[in-house]
Structure 1
């Protein structure tokens, strides 16, 4: 039977769930709860081949008789699979060492978001944790491949990531943040947490130690601060170009995108001067920036106050969103603190309604947050932004 756009799109969606078991689980699809995303070169090659196949089949669809919506769906599928395959061919995993949003930082946050609703889900979580140990080893092997190809992360990021892993490995296994998972009502919590702790001790921590050992060995080969950009690794300029296409859908060059940013920043200076005169009593740009950075009165000193300010901003957004949008999200958007990860990030809700959307605020150092940043950040991360 020939492909239809509806059938092909559904097949592609099911493929995406299989290809990323973590995403499937976060969205509330439980078919792959016992697995975790592969990280090997072989898996990467299979993914690229699968995307190329979907693109070829979408291209071959007969558009005669298609509705407008069907033609749009075909174009979206073509774009996502074609440009996605190009981007996926970039060997970014070979030097994807990141102390802020790396695996060692984000995993403890992600596991709290997995819906675990019954005993079967709980048993799969234990299996997942043992698989995660294998996936960490796959990531580590990619770093070795990068080293052989001359593609190594910046020295600063290698050092800080190794430090983060060292800190994690030095923490009490009984209080491991990976144990902070949902416990279903029909499961004995002590037994469940004990099985998870065994999996962490037997699989995840040893794999993290092996990764740490390689990172420490790579430190002296890391790129210096003046060469942190991706264009400094073999093939980096092409990877950069593919990333721009994937993230923006345009044919702009990286330099053109950068210039747009510079021009936009420069165009804001007059606004800064006007607002600086009104709020800070000065129109001197250097003094404005200095006050925004250094004045303790303009910064927070505890995480709870940051969370409360963000929730207040969300309250404003929720009250106003019906005036701006015809289609509103069914899921709520919560605000939570986290001690790790980027300064702020969002986790979308589960499709089955078991978990709301959440945006996280890193409050490890509350003084990093300016009071003037909270509303813009909240509207970006929560409503009407990612949520």
Structure 2
């Protein structure tokens, strides 16, 4: 998952929210409410906490308009996130401190059930957010895996969360474009400050960002990804002919005079000033306060008290174990040669690859239908929203992950999307189809994220929040259910499952190697080439992803291990009374949880089942 995509809504790094104080009196009035007779009504701790959660989410959406659009809050569709500057950073810090103070005033001993879970999560998250303020992530506002430059293009394509249904929708996006231009200018200033403080991207990553920017510097406006919404304008019966003409004229001017120049300014700066100042090292360890920064990244991504050495060693053990399993597959299919030769065979033999993007998408669609018929074997709760299979858009395919998932619209207007990257068909072997589908779609990310959005009892900050270790841990755990669902009967499909698990095991080694033990980019690439059959282009993109998103990649295996540990604990405690469907319900029904809070919840469930 490119979490993506993770968290699950668009987040650009650090320093994006600015407090809007117009509603502060309303938001701060959480301790009591006035009834129709103007009599003071004292709230319970449950009512106070839920009012607090509601106020937090409302203010957060007001301060982060891009995230608001993605979760279906349309009030701020005309705004972009505020610029990166000291005022924004200070207001963000004050915002988190305010809500930490408020949650600490709640009496947790009076809370039960969802209220208690929400309290524990909210308190923990505010502390973590404040701790992260000491690290200068805002000085690296964009990289090849994400940032405002790619998020804005996705919104402006007309195929994402930004609506283009009414005349006001088009005007909203034009207004948002002005905010985008302001934000990108602030990103330039932040990167200049990064140069002064020796907090800059490695040169190979800068080189990957440049073509992403250049893709939007077109001469022919009809070739711009931002032209997409105009193609459907004529079909809008609810917009008058005069309005259509004015909208088209204004929209083209916005592309020409606002959007393209914003991309050009960033491109010019990054190619002429930033690239020469880019660094030749790769890990956080090489940045000021880098060791503490990486330790923080491990904590935020895993939610557990783990250190780099422990994760590195666990990864080495898993890589060796999975290599042994791969050797068994080689023997099963009767391949003559060593494992290195088997890897080369799997990388190159034509039988394992599709010859067109459409054939790739059709193949995954067929796998979807097969999996959808099997998930009832292990589950009793299902998302209402469906998902569809799509190819990654051409403008972002070169630097995107091999597969990813985008959650459905909360109001049901847009399905979940399982993206397959067709940029390099030799990086999409057929033997990965079942394991990738289970991970990204059902019962992996699609089940977990869609169900989380659909649970009515969850406060919005949980419904639309998440933890990489939970989301990715669940998706990797879901892969391990494949045989229980009747998948992976073909030995090459089983190899695909092992290949995907090996990728996650190698991430433990490579991520920590890069950021804690001084590995070079080439050293990381060589390790992955030696221990997998992944295409070299895939490996290079993966390694550069780990460089850009320190600590994110270790959460997959760590999360899977923790969820499997909880299942084993429950099975041992409950014996013949253990019900796997009900266990899965317990994991999914309360949304994403930090691992310690999930473990405490499952422990309580085990006691309830025993009684």
TM value normalised by structure 1:
0.91
Separation in structure 2 between the aligned mates of residue 195 and residue 251 of structure 1, nearest angstrom: 53
| Superposed displacement of residue 282, structure 1 | 4.2
Unaligned runs of 5+ in 1: none
Partner SS state of residue 388, structure 2: strand
Quick one: structure 1 residues 12 and 275, their matched pair in 2 at CA, closer, same or farther if it must change by over 3 Å?
same
Partner of 1:262: 316
Partner of 1:366: 425
Does the 8 A contact of 2:221 with 2:227 survive in 1? no
Q: How does 1:66-215 map to 2 (within 5 A)?
A: 66-111=111-156, 112-113=159-160, 114-170=162-218, 172-181=220-229, 185-187=237-239, 191-215=246-270
Separation in structure 2 between the aligned mates of residue 107 and residue 296 of structure 1, nearest angstrom: 38
Q: How does 1:222-371 map to 2 (within 5 A)?
A: 222-224=278-280, 227-279=281-333, 281-282=335-336, 284-337=338-391, 338-339=393-394, 340-341=396-397, 342=400, 343-371=402-430
Quick one: structure 1 residues 280 and 20, their matched pair in 2 at CA, closer, same or farther if it must change by over 3 Å?
farther
Structure 1 residue 31 and structure 2 residue 75: aligned? yes
Separation in structure 2 between the aligned mates of residue 193 and residue 366 of structure 1, nearest angstrom: 37
Quick one: structure 1 residues 279 and 192, their matched pair in 2 at CA, closer, same or farther if it must change by over 3 Å?
farther
Partner SS state of residue 168, structure 1: coil
| Superposed displacement of residue 263, structure 1 | 2.1
Partner of 2:559: none
Quick one: structure 1 residues 190 and 351, their matched pair in 2 at CA, closer, same or farther if it must change by over 3 Å?
farther
Q: Based on CA coordinates, which of the two structures has the bigger radius of gyration?
A: 2
Does the 8 A contact of 2:299 with 2:305 survive in 1? yes
Separation in structure 1 between the aligned mates of residue 246 and residue 370 of structure 2, nearest angstrom: 43
Partner of 1:61: 106
| Superposed displacement of residue 321, structure 1 | 2.7
Separation in structure 1 between the aligned mates of residue 116 and residue 312 of structure 2, nearest angstrom: 33
Partner SS state of residue 418, structure 2: strand
- C-alpha offsets along residues 45-64 of structure 1, whole Å, 9 cap, x if unaligned? 32232122212221221123
Partner of 2:515: none
Partner of 1:8: 52
Separation in structure 2 between the aligned mates of residue 108 and residue 362 of structure 1, nearest angstrom: 17
Partner of 1:221: 277
| Superposed displacement of residue 249, structure 1 | 0.4
Partner SS state of residue 279, structure 2: coil
- C-alpha offsets along residues 230-259 of structure 1, whole Å, 9 cap, x if unaligned? 221112222211121111101212333333
- C-alpha offsets along residues 250-291 of structure 1, whole Å, 9 cap, x if unaligned? 121233333322322221011101112223614722122222
Does the 8 A contact of 1:280 with 1:288 survive in 2? no
Does the 8 A contact of 1:347 with 1:357 survive in 2? yes
Separation in structure 2 between the aligned mates of residue 238 and residue 292 of structure 1, nearest angstrom: 40
Higher alpha-carbon deviation: 239-248 or 62-71: 62-71
Does the 8 A contact of 1:346 with 1:386 survive in 2? yes
Separation in structure 2 between the aligned mates of residue 141 and residue 210 of structure 1, nearest angstrom: 12
TM value normalised by structure 2:
0.59
Partner of 2:90: 45
- C-alpha offsets along residues 21-40 of structure 1, whole Å, 9 cap, x if unaligned? 11211222111100122340
Quick one: structure 1 residues 98 and 186, their matched pair in 2 at CA, closer, same or farther if it must change by over 3 Å?
same
Quick one: structure 1 residues 366 and 74, their matched pair in 2 at CA, closer, same or farther if it must change by over 3 Å?
same
Separation in structure 1 between the aligned mates of residue 109 and residue 205 of structure 2, nearest angstrom: 52
Does the 8 A contact of 2:143 with 2:205 survive in 1? yes
Quick one: structure 1 residues 45 and 300, their matched pair in 2 at CA, closer, same or farther if it must change by over 3 Å?
farther
Separation in structure 2 between the aligned mates of residue 122 and residue 291 of structure 1, nearest angstrom: 51
Separation in structure 2 between the aligned mates of residue 298 and residue 121 of structure 1, nearest angstrom: 45
Does the 8 A contact of 2:194 with 2:200 survive in 1? yes
- C-alpha offsets along residues 171-215 of structure 1, whole Å, 9 cap, x if unaligned? 522221023237554236565444333212221211111111211
Separation in structure 1 between the aligned mates of residue 172 and residue 93 of structure 2, nearest angstrom: 28
Partner SS state of residue 180, structure 1: helix
Unaligned runs of 5+ in 2: 1-29, 32-44, 447-611
Quick one: structure 1 residues 382 and 165, their matched pair in 2 at CA, closer, same or farther if it must change by over 3 Å?
same
Quick one: structure 1 residues 179 and 309, their matched pair in 2 at CA, closer, same or farther if it must change by over 3 Å?
same
Separation in structure 2 between the aligned mates of residue 81 and residue 172 of structure 1, nearest angstrom: 47
